[in-house]
Amino acid sequence: QVQLQESGPGLVKPSQTLSLTCTVSGGSISSGNYYWSWIRQHPGKGLEWIGYIYYSGTTYYNPSLKSRVTISVDTSKNQFSLKLSSVTAADTAVYYCARELPCGGDCRPFDYWGQGTLVTVSS
């Protein structure tokens, strides 16, 4: 059973960089054709996809956040990470990591999710 777990600071100061790590267990991050994503949810709001990474390092970022986002992977630790720079209060959200299931063509649902971690941006 694949499990994902987010970790990182729950409080970040404005203008600083938010850094989170997702540790994958129950399967290798570099096996299969999976893409690994970050998604966030502002308090009481809907879901916003941030971007994905493939184990080879190929990334795609949501254009709305592209200038501030970096997603990286460490296959030796079975982890992938998110960095979001120059944060403001608008970046306060629950951040989820998730696995994309390749099911043919553009079929790429998120089949496994981490439990989510709340990151608050405040001085």
**Rule CB under 8 A: which residues touch another protein?**
37, 46-49, 60, 62-64, 96, 98, 100-101, 103-111, 113-116
- The whole-angstrom separation of Cα 33 and Cα 29 is 9
* SS percent in the chain: helix, strand, coil, step 5: 0, 50, 45
Cβ distance to another protein smaller for residue 74 or 111: 111
Cβ distance to another protein smaller for residue 41 or 75: 41
Cβ distance to another protein smaller for residue 81 or 117: 117
User: Distance of alpha carbon 93 from its chain centroid, rounded?
Assistant: 12
Kindly state the smallest distance separating residue 60's Cβ from another protein, in Å: 6
Kindly state the smallest distance separating residue 17's Cβ from another protein, in Å: 22
Kindly state the smallest distance separating residue 48's Cβ from another protein, in Å: 7
Neighbours of 36 (CB within 10 A): 23
- The whole-angstrom separation of Cα 112 and Cα 100 is 8
